[in-house]
Each structure stands twice: as structure tokens, then as C-alpha cells.
Amino acid sequence: MIQFNKSFLALSLLALTFSACDPTTDERPLGVYDTGILILNEGAFGANDGEVTHLDPSTGTLTPSVFEKANGRPFAGLLEDLVLEEDRLYLVANTGKVEVVQPGDFKSLGAVEKGLDQPRSLATARGKLFISDYGPYDANYNTPSSYVAVVQGLDGGLVKKKIPVSSKPEDLYAFGSYVFVAASEGKKVEVLDANAELPFKTLDMPGQPVQFFELNGDLWVFCYDAQKVYFVSISKSAISQKNIRTFPIAQATGRIAKGDDDTFYVLTSSGWPDYRDGISVVNVGSGTLVSDWKKGSGFYGIGYDSDAQQIYLANAKGFQGNGEVLVYQKSGAEVNKLTVGRGPSGFFFR
Amino acid sequence: MTIALWCVFVLPFASPQDTVALAEVAVHAAALDRFAAGQTLLTYEKSTLERYAARSLGDLLQETSPIFVRQYGAGMLASPSFRGTSPGHTALFWNGVPINSISLGQSDLSILPIQATDRVEVQFGSAGALFGNEAIGGSVHLSTAPTKKEGLQGVFSQTIGSFGLNQTSLMAAYGNPTLRFQTKGYLQEQPNTFRYRDISRAGAPWERQDHAAFKQQGVLQDIWWQASSHAQVKASFWWNQAQREIQPLIGSSTQDRQADESFRAVLDYRYQKKSSVWKLKGAWMADQLQFNAQENQTRQGLLGLDWELPSAGNWALRAGVRGTWMNAQLSTYTATEQRWEAYQSLGWQEGERISVSLNLRQLAYPNELVPFLPGLGMDWRLFEIDRTSLHLKTAFGLGLKLPKLNDRYWEPGGNPNLRPEKSQNAEIGLQLKQTGNFSWSQRLTYYRMQVDDWIIWLPKGNVWIPENIREVHNQGLEYQGESSWTTGHLTWQANLAYTYSSTRDLTQEGSQQLPYSPKHQGNAGLQVKRKDLAFDLSGFYVGPRSIASGNSRILEGFALGNLGLTFSGAKWKSLQMPLRFQVLNVFNQSYQVLYLRAMPGRSYQLNLTLTL
């Protein structure tokens, strides 16, 4: 299952990347996919037809199947996450591999093809890849053998080590020599030592942690349970919990997008018997909450374009074929409708 | 048990006399034979079944019929799609009883070995009135028939082939005018270590398939007994077990395993007095499916009674009732259900010139009557001049599929409010035939079908639930031609078939072709025989097809060719030793039937049969 977009993290990482050098002296030509919006299409279970669609918002041009177009071969996996780090774009397939491509043209740089089970996300630290992985299912479809896989080198290769973590690790965040792991089912944030490749510390969370983000200089993690969502801030220096903001949003799905001014858009799904999906909007700073900002069905991913100040909502359309993306103004007015690949689940704003 | 039956019943009757042909066993003759006027039918000859002896029903139908078989890899799940309908829209019968899984609502053709059946018949189009539940796109009828020969008979067959194929089968039979036995056993192992191109990796390197091994074994027993001058009894048992490593998709390395085990038993009692025939049918089936550590069990009991007037002047009449009890114990639910049905068939025939069939059926399941199902068909010989005749065949019928147990009871998501899927089918065709030294037959059929309330599982938040969503309009053309002739010492047979199938999903924008519904399919074959030597060449083509709604990704069409050489001249006393060599996928095509499901390249099979 796609978690959700990492646009805010990507933007901050991009800012870090480019702040270190003078743009006027960067001789690398801008690639086709260095601008615009990358849309993650998870693909359908059993078909493994995950892919990336590129949208050029200035012209409205959509380019489907970007990976296959660039490399002449199918992605052949369920696309779980897109991570931009170290001038490389990592395509994480929860069917057991990670593809590494050049961000500008999607040309393959390498891959992690063996040794993974159900990878979910990735972070780089100390010249290594850290890949969160559910591990194999047991007889009851539980995942008691979850781990973070370590690969030496940034362009893929062999898994050299698996560090056991609590069940169902999702997002990762690297800071210095530490890698923070959102172990969702275990309701823990586990901190790994990237040098020793060993567990270092564990923080208990009030709900299932799924997504890290940076806000006002702090590291935050978004958690949820059946009744509430929690935004937990963590001190990166002390590696300890600082604050919790709690909002009474029931049946959150764990998919969020960070808007402007401490605002977050949270996808919800009511489940049986109504099966009604929605978007709630919260402001972590002011504590305001707008429930059911949008209502509907088939919501599968959400993103926020901070340049255009627009909300992108992905609808998987039952995974029967192409999915759909609706674009809204902050006022709620629909401004665009796009047909994208199968199972759109997240966005990456370049 | 089988050995014990042989000791008790067969050995005392064994006699050394030569085999003698007996009359056709009539006890289980399918309704196909008498009340299917106007329907498109395909009957496989024994010689064709022998060519596919080491293969599955899925291979046979894919390569020789207009049916598209969705093959999830070599030896993996294979499910049929008739005229653009879904795999669950096919009724499958063994000796007249439905054998589709009651929980999954379909059958896996790859674990139905050809050697376990003596006769395969295929019927196209909705025929709910004639065959009941699930006969929307068509139906497949497998049957076993005890030997027609008197005395003892034995067959041993051994096949070896590429990728580790090893198959052994045994058949022993005994027949006298009042009692006939047939016992079959088979064991097939296929490690499936074929090479394929890994198109998910840079340069598409050749890889050897891992984790796709297949092992299957089974035993069949048929007993036929002429109990009196009025009464016949036929009993059939079939145990089949298959264990498979589930072949991962290209680019992934899943390690799933599946084990299927089925036990099926059918008892037919036929009593005839004057022109009236009573038939009592009882059946018991138990299926077990283990996927990794998840176990699912289903059981089904069936009891039916029908009365028939096979020939009352120009008329034939049949009426019957059937009750089915089913029980499912799955990993997520337990359910028990009873279903009832009453049916009636009326046939009118004037010599060989015209025949008309009217079929009616009413089904009921828990507290509900489902729509009444009529079906009407006609065969009309428009003219016959010398040895050439032209026939008009037309049929109209309704079909339905009750929601399968998983649709209604699966936890979470099962939807108890589902309606049955419904279909209407009409077809009209012409068949031109010529008999004689150069005999041929050509048939062209146009069909039109509509399927409503098609059930689709859709995600709702974190749960998938089934809903009556899809409405589909299908239409198409089916051409089938065959001929046989002799030149000098050579005997020739040729066949050619082509199908055009348009399947429009009206619930999708632009009402595009349904996924995995090729518009074009075709097959051709040529056999030539000279004395004891026979050569056969066959090929089939499956056109481009989309893997999802909206034509977002199209899989290329593919064409494969097979060839075979049979030498049947090796004999020693009464022992016959036919030898057959086959090359499958002779042009070593790299292809996928379903997206990212690797299929084997060229392979070889060598079969030796000893017949006594």
C-alpha cells in the first residue's frame, strides 16, 4: 500500500541539495523530469504494473510510464514510494525491489533486486541505503520479521545486513549518523545507528507512526489510530519526544499532505457500511480542524503543490484501469481533472 | 480401495478372449446430445485428446478453440474466458455434475489433466436453461466412459520432456455385457525450470525460472453395471491432488505455495420401461485448497431426479428436479447453503431436416427465486444436394450466475445483497458440409450477448467489497472449418478457426474492450498419416489484449506452433507400443499470456504407450 507523498520532505531535501552550490555554476542541464509533478501509480496487485506519470503543469502535458519510456523495460512492480536523495531518485516497489534512476531523465543507475521482501521506503546515510521492509508474511499474514535492510553504496547492489525492527516499518528519516524508523504496527519510532548498523534507541508513540516531516526546524512524525491523529515532535539532538498535537479525526488512513502554514490534509475512510472517504484539514500550529473538507469514494493519495497552492487528490477508480487525479484550489474549487496510470497513490512535486 | 474393487469384481470375470466392441453406454449421455439444437458445440475426438495426454484442459482449449484461457504461468492457474466473459461465467461439468469451486466460482483448468477424461465437449453461449448456474459464456463437459471393449485391457504411458517433465499413467479396464470397470492412475512432475527473458532487468537477460514446480497425481474409477434389462448403474470416483509452487511475476520473488485436493463421486441410476426413462443422480464432492498456511475446504452434495421420454413420435421430453447442498469452511467464514432447481426440456425433430429445442429452468437459493431461464434453439437443413448440405443454426438463451460464496460471505467485505449476474445470448450461424472422399465442413456463427450486474470487487477504504457494477455488450464472429481427404497412401486432415470478439464495457468511459479479451484469435492444424506414421502441425494465435480497463497497457499478440510425430507400428504379439515425439512452441517464441507471467520457450516431449 502506498503510504502517501513525500513532497514536503523532498522539497526540503532539494533545498538542502541546491543551497550547497551556486545555481549559476551548476552545469548539469535540467532534465525533463527535474521540473513538474511526478505522480506515483502503485499498479494493481497481481499485475505489478506500477509506474510514474509526469505532469508538466505549465502545458498540462502528461507523460505516462516514465520509467518504461526511459529504460525500455517495464517497472514490473507495485510502486510504493519515490525518494529523492543524493541526486538519485529511488523507486521502491513493495513487490521486492528498489530501482535507482537519474532524477532528470529516469535513466537507470542500478537496483536492489534480491534480498528484499516487501520494501516500503528508503533513506540514505553514510553512503548506504537503508530500506524499511515489512519482511515476509507468516501463516496468519502477520509480519513479525520486519527489518531495515542495509545496502552498501548509493546505486543499489546486494543487501549486506537486515536490522530487525518492530512490525511494519514505513517511513525513514536520516539525520547525521541516525536513521529514524516509523514502525507503524509496533507504535514505535526506532532509531538506528547508521555507522554500526544497529538499533540505538526506541521511542513509544501514541498511535501508528507512518510519516516523518520537518516543521519549523523540528522533526515530526504523523501517527494515527482509529479515533485520533497525532503529530509528535522529536528532538533530533536529544532523540526524545517533545510535543504532541492531537486531533479527533476518526478513521484516518495514514495518507497526508503538508500544505502551507502548518496545515495538513488528512485522508479518511469510514469503512463498513458506508465506505465513505474524506479529507480533513488540520493546522498543527493553531489547532484548527475542518472535518470532511471533501467527501467521496476511491480516495487513494493526496499531495500539495506549494507553488500553485493546489491540492492534488488521487482516485484509484477501483484499480480496474487508469486512475484519476482531481486538482483543487485551497478554497475547495475543482480546477483540473487528469487521467493517470493504475492506482495513483501519491505525488512528488519537483 | 481401487485395488480392492478390482480383486472383488474384476478378477472373477477375467477371461482371455479378444476384445469385442460393446454398445455405447447410455446412462450418462449429456443433455448436450438431445436438447442443444442450434448451439455452437465442439467435441474433441479421441485422437486429439491423445495428442494432449500429457497436458491440461487449459492447454487443449487455448490451442484448439475460440476460448481465451488466462494462464498465470506454466502449469499455474488457467481460467477460461468464453466470448469475452469472465472465468466465473463458465459452467464446468464432470459426468454431468457441476465442479466449479463453490467458494471461488470457477475452475482451474491446469489441474484438470486430459488423461483423466475420456470425452470433452464444449458449448458456447448462455444456456442457463439447459445447464443451470454459471452457463453464461459457455460450458465445458468432461466425462468418463467405461471401456466399450469386452475383456481385459491395460495401458501404460510414460512421457518425459523438457524442464524435467516426467509423467506416468496407467489404465486397466475390464468389460463384459453386464459389467465394466475402468481404473486410471496418473502421476505428473514438472519442475518447470524453463528459461525466460527477465524483461524487468536491464538488457532482459535470460533467467531460469525458479519456484514454479508442479506435481499432480490422481486416481479414477468407473464402474458400469447392467443391473437388469431395465436398469443400469454407473459410478465414477475421482481423486486428484496437485501441489504447486506459485510462479512469481517477472521482477518479483514471491514464495507462495498452493495445494489442491479434490474428491468427486457420482452415482447414476437409469431405469427404462417402455419409452419412459427415469434417472436418479447423486454426487458428492469435497475440495481442499491450501494457499501457504491458509486452508479452505468446501463440500457439495447433489441429488437429482429426472424423467424423460426420449422419443415420442417427433417429440422428446425431459423434466427434472435437483437439490444441492453446499458447505464452505474457509479461513475467514463458514457457510452452508441449499439450492433447488426444476427444469424441463422439449425437443421436436423431423428426421434430419429440422430439430428444435425448448429448455426452461427455475432456480432458487436461500429464500429467493432467481429469474426464470428459457432457452430456444433450432437446427434447420436448408438444402441437401448430392453430398452437400447447408444448415441454419440459431439459438437464444438466458444465463445467470448466483453470487459465489466468497462474494456473499467473505470477511471482511462479503456483500449479502448482491444480485445474480444475468446474461442474454442470441446467435445465428450457417454450416456448409460436404461428405465423400474430400469431405469438409465450414461454419460461421454470429453471436450477440449482454451481461448485466457483472460482479466486480472494488476497494472501499481498506476493504474490498463485491458489487453488481459492470454491464457488458459482446458480439462476435466464429468461423470453423475442417476437411479430410486422401491422396495416394496419405490421409490428410486440416482445420482452421478464427474468432472476432468485441466486448464493450458500457460502465467505462468510451465503452472500451474488456481487459484480457483479445479481439482476434485463431488456430489451425494439419495432420497427415501414412500407414503407421503420422505427422501433425498445429498453431494458434492470440491477438493483442489490454491488461486493464481503459487500454492503458496492451500486451502484444503471439502465435505459437507445435509439431508432433507418431509411430504406431511397433507391436509385439498383442502388445502395441505407439511412440510419439512433440515439439511445443517450435519457433521458441518469448511470450506472456498474462502480463509479467513468463511462459516457456521451445520444449520437447517423448511419449511411449504400451497398450494391451
A196-249 tens-digit pLDDT = 999 999 999 999 999 999 988 889 999 999 999 999 999 988 899 999 999 999
Return the residue in A275, A315, A339, A345 with the most chain B beta carbons within 10 A, the one to mutate for interface testing: A275
Q: How far is CA A184 from CA A5, A314, B408, in A?
A: 17, 23, 32
CB pair distance less than 8 Å for A139 and B595: no
- Closest listed residue to residue A301, CA positions, set A271, A326, A322, A336: A326
B91/B105 Cα distance (integer angstroms):
9
Task: Say if residues B162 and B605 touch (Cβ distance below 8 Å).
Answer: yes
Residue B179 exposed, middle or buried by CB count within 10 Å (0-12, 13-18, 19+): middle
Q: What pLDDT sits at residue A24?
A: 45
Number of H helices, E strands in chain A: 2, 28
pLDDT over 50 at A21, yes or no: no
Neighbouring CB atoms inside 10 A of A263's CB total 18
- Partners of B205 on chain A (C-beta within 8 Å) are none
What secondary structure letter does DSSP report for B379? Answer: E
- B interface with A, Cβ–Cβ < 8 A, is 199-202, 204, 249-255, 292-294, 412, 456, 458-463, 465, 508, 515, 546-553, 595-596
Give the model's confidence band at A272: pLDDT under 50 very low, under 70 low, under 90 confident, else very high.
low
Residue scoring higher pLDDT (B551 or A24): B551
φ, ψ dihedrals at A24, nearest 5°:
-70, -20
Q: What pLDDT sits at residue A20?
A: 41
pLDDT over 60 at B2, yes or no: no
Give the minimum alpha-carbon distance from B409 to chain A in angstroms, rounded to a whole number: 14
- Closest listed residue to residue A80, CA positions, set A91, A65, A69: A91
Cβ-based neighbours of A269, under 8 Å, separated by 6 or more: A251, A253, A275, A276, A277, A278, A299, B460, B461, B462
- Closest listed residue to residue B532, CA positions, set B568, B494, B487, B565: B568
- Across chain B, mean pLDDT equals 91
pLDDT-above-90 percentage for chain B = 81
CB pair distance less than 8 Å for B249 and A322: no
- Partners of B253 on chain A (C-beta within 8 Å) are 96, 114
Question: Taking the model in full, what pTM does it have?
Answer: 0.89
Q: What pLDDT sits at residue B147?
A: 74
B296/B35 Cα distance (integer angstroms):
37
B72/B62 Cα distance (integer angstroms):
13
The stretches of A188-346 forming alpha helices (DSSP H) are: none
B80/B107 Cα distance (integer angstroms):
8
Q: How far is CA B534 from CA B131, B377, B507, B565, in A?
A: 38, 39, 51, 6
- Closest listed residue to residue B453, CA positions, set B462, B466, B440, B434: B466
Query: Quick check: A20 contacting B, CB < 8 Å?
Result: no
- Closest listed residue to residue B251, CA positions, set A80, A35, A74, A107: A74
Return the residue in A39, A41, A48, A297 with the most chain B beta carbons within 10 A, the one to mutate for interface testing: A48
- Please tell me the total number of residues recorded for chain A in this structure: 350
Task: Say if residues B491 and B534 touch (Cβ distance below 8 Å).
Answer: no
pLDDT per residue as tens digits for the range B322-361: 999 999 999 899 999 999 999 999 999 998 899 999 999 9
pLDDT over 70 at A257, yes or no: yes
Mean per-residue pLDDT, B218-234:
95
Q: What pLDDT sits at residue B31?
A: 54
Three cell numbers written together for B46: 479421441
pLDDT per residue as tens digits for the range B202-221: 888 999 999 999 999 999 99
CB pair distance less than 8 Å for B199 and A137: no
Q: What pLDDT sits at residue A323?
A: 93
